[in-house]
Structure 1
Amino acid sequence: MDVKISVIGAGSAVFSLTLIRGLCTSNCLEGSTISLMDIDGRRLNAAYALLRRYAEELGVKLKVEKTMDRRESLRDADFVINTALAAGHHRLREGWEVARSLGYRHGGSLHVMHDEAFWINFYQFRLFESILEDVLDVCPDAWYVQLANPVLAGITYLGRKYPDAKIVGLCHGFMGAYHLADALGLERSRVSFEAIGVNHFIWLTSFRYDGEDAYPLVDEWLEREAPRYWERCPPSDPLGPKAFDLYRRLGLFPVGDTCTPGGGS
């Protein structure tokens, strides 16, 4: 598949490393163009060098570009991945400090319903919207893939204001399957699973241990161990009472931020 993928905010310390690994290990992207864009030249150069070296060492044929011009990166793009944080982490930390000074606990990663620097979402929403408007102008047929938080709130806002745009929100919440396995005392190397969902709502549609259905082990843990776990777990724990209430009601376990304020539940 020969496509062009534009990555906005490519210098992200968290998302870009995972994204680079994913791009280089996806055989279906062989021959594609990856355009990295960031306003921080130092971070951009680091991501560019890492992606090129990783692709070369794995023998993956990717055309890698870099630019500090967003519209240039978007030109002829088939997919636009947004990982950007407006105003930088320093503004987020300023908000955390204000929240702490007023007695609020430390929140998660930039969600409007958390007790943190909620006002930074103004900058995020403004950035999301400006990127999408450029997408609609420069590459209107491209899919806009939202990775930057707040995913759910951002996608909801953009979807309502731009109903004809091709928008989807994704996150790495599938890793929650391993957290569940850890709680059950299972070896990760023997666990296989399928997790499906978008926009911070992800469900464990298959959960197996040594090839056998592991959901009965979840039921057993829920009956015997969960009450003790809940006595010591922090608020909004992904294995907290809310997660298992959703599991009881819907028959599938929610992973990632599905049952936390990050998912908007």
Structure 2
Amino acid sequence: MSKGLKIVTIGGGSSYTPELIEGFIKYYKELPVSEIWLVDIEAGKEKLEIVGGLARRMVEKAGVPIDIHLTLDRKKALEGADYVTTQLRVGQLAARALDEKIPLKHGVIGQETNGPGGLFKAFRTIPVILDIAREMEEICPNAWLINFTNPAGMVTEAVLRHSNITKIVGLCNVPIGMERGVAELMKVEPDRVRIDFAGLNHMVYGLDVFVDGKSVKEEIIDMISDPDKAVTMKNIHAMGWEPEFLRALNLFPCPYHNYYYKTGDILAQELKDAENGETRAEVVQKLETELFELYKDVDLDIKPPQLEERGGAYYSDAAVRLIHSMYTDKRDIQAVNTMNYGAIEGIPYDSAVEVSCVITKDGPKPITVGELPVAVRGLVQQIKSFERVAIEAAVTGNYDTALLAMTINPLVPSDRVGKLILDEMLLAHKEFLPQFFRNKELQGSFHD
């Protein structure tokens, strides 16, 4: 092979980066990466240098010829890229804290990718991702964009609708986390588990669950009604499920379904956590501080196990596995965010869905599932409506559209409460929402 692959990671100063580096080292023999460019902005320069130092030590320890480049010049990094991964957080953890705390003041769940918090993360993130997409169109039009910036489904759909980039795959750690959770419950290796996924990002269901090709869905449904056996994530409280509800649903819910099926319980827990100074953003800020102190250690040359406490475990595993499968045309099955193409009936053909796909050198090929079960179809369609309207608001900066998106989200109880939250959050995040503040008359409608 004449040249190795060039990987560009935007948001390279993220605490997740060591996991990404570990993945490329692990797959090196079949995925010949020669360059990894870690890109960040001026505000993330110190973290970029700390993470970059650890990345170089990891590569050196592994004895693989991968050059690690650190830069704040995104356009320079994109030149000649084969794969571009995005893992950025506009406004960093301080913005996440506001996304969680402001809705709670109004009696609404505060969460970074669901409800008002997810809406505002989309408002801040989508314009930045679209800027990156435009740069890719010009500088590296043949590169694949692998996005695991949240909200991953909305970001993927925004790129499909508002750029000329078609080579994009959105990625989430929820499906791989659910498969690993099943493996733990069944006491088998993860590669023996397969789940048939369908739905949307953070609104995905396991239609069936297999171990060694045999369905174990009923057994898993029985097991996860026990809170001690719940398949969840570091950032979501495990509460268990009513066994009668799960049996009737006859699907394997993802951890984020707690927000929709246990709204009152989750809200009560979040309010209690907030009183104790333990919102998820505050917990993560402490974890991040500890992680970066670890990363500074010049003797550290592996991914520290503490990273799995961060909540995004397996993101990078999923990303490297996906790139490996695309590069080798492996044609294995993975759940990703991609254009529907009719795979899920009742969701627009050209909308992004999260669904099991065959992964090929030409990208993911969605596996047709037909209509979702009637019990969940309406909720999934409501969230897709919310996503579509939210993307329009993020791109146009239209206040009325933003309020519509806020209000049709099932976690927001009314247009009045939605408006109170919208107004407060717009002002709190003003620095990162220029699209909403260009029109002086519009600004006046909620600024006074």
Deviation at 1:35, TM superposition (A): 0.7
Distance 1:56 1:100, change over 3 A: same
Deviation at 1:213, TM superposition (A): 4.7
| Match runs of 1:51-90 below 5 Å | 51-90=55-94
- How many residue pairs get aligned? The number is 249
* Structure 2 match to 1:131: 132
- SS of the residue corresponding to residue 35 of structure 1 reads strand
Which among 36, 43, 46 is matched to residue 42 of structure 1? 46
Distance 1:204 1:228, change over 3 A: closer
Structure 1 alignment gaps of length 5 or more: none
Task: Please give the root-mean-square deviation of Cα atoms over the aligned residues, in Å.
Answer: 3.8
- SS of the residue corresponding to residue 69 of structure 2 reads strand
Deviation at 1:259, TM superposition (A): 9.6
Structure 2 alignment gaps of length 5 or more: 261-352, 355-378, 381-448
* Structure 1 match to 2:162: 161
**Which of structures 1 and 2 has the bigger CA Rg?**
2
- SS of the residue corresponding to residue 42 of structure 1 reads helix
Deviation at 1:114, TM superposition (A): 2.2
* Structure 2 match to 1:93: 97
Question: 1:219 corresponds to which letter in structure 2?
Answer: E
Deviation at 1:233, TM superposition (A): 9.8
Question: 2:170 corresponds to which letter in structure 1?
Answer: G
TM-score by length of 1: 0.76
Say if 2:195 and 2:208, in contact at 8 Å, map to a contact too.
Answer: yes
- Structure 2 residue 117 is matched with structure 1 residue 116: yes
* Structure 2 match to 1:151: 152
* Structure 1 match to 2:219: 220
Question: 2:19 corresponds to which letter in structure 1?
Answer: T
Distance 1:145 1:197, change over 3 A: farther
Q: Which has the higher helix share?
A: 2
Using CA pairs under 8 Å that are at least 6 residues apart, name the structure with larger relative contact order, 1 or 2: 2
Distance 1:64 1:202, change over 3 A: farther
Say if 2:7 and 2:83, in contact at 8 Å, map to a contact too.
Answer: yes
Distance 1:259 1:191, change over 3 A: farther
Q: Distance in 2 between the 1:141 and 1:16 partners?
A: 24
Question: 1:53 corresponds to which letter in structure 2?
Answer: R
* Structure 1 match to 2:347: none
Distance 1:130 1:238, change over 3 A: farther
Say if 1:143 and 1:166, in contact at 8 Å, map to a contact too.
Answer: yes
Say if 1:6 and 1:35, in contact at 8 Å, map to a contact too.
Answer: yes
Deviation at 1:91, TM superposition (A): 1.3
Say if 2:121 and 2:150, in contact at 8 Å, map to a contact too.
Answer: no
Distance 1:58 1:246, change over 3 A: farther
| CA deviation string 1:208-238 (max 9, x = no partner) | 3xxx55633x31343x4555659x9999979
Deviation at 1:18, TM superposition (A): 2.2
Distance 1:164 1:53, change over 3 A: closer
- SS of the residue corresponding to residue 119 of structure 1 reads helix
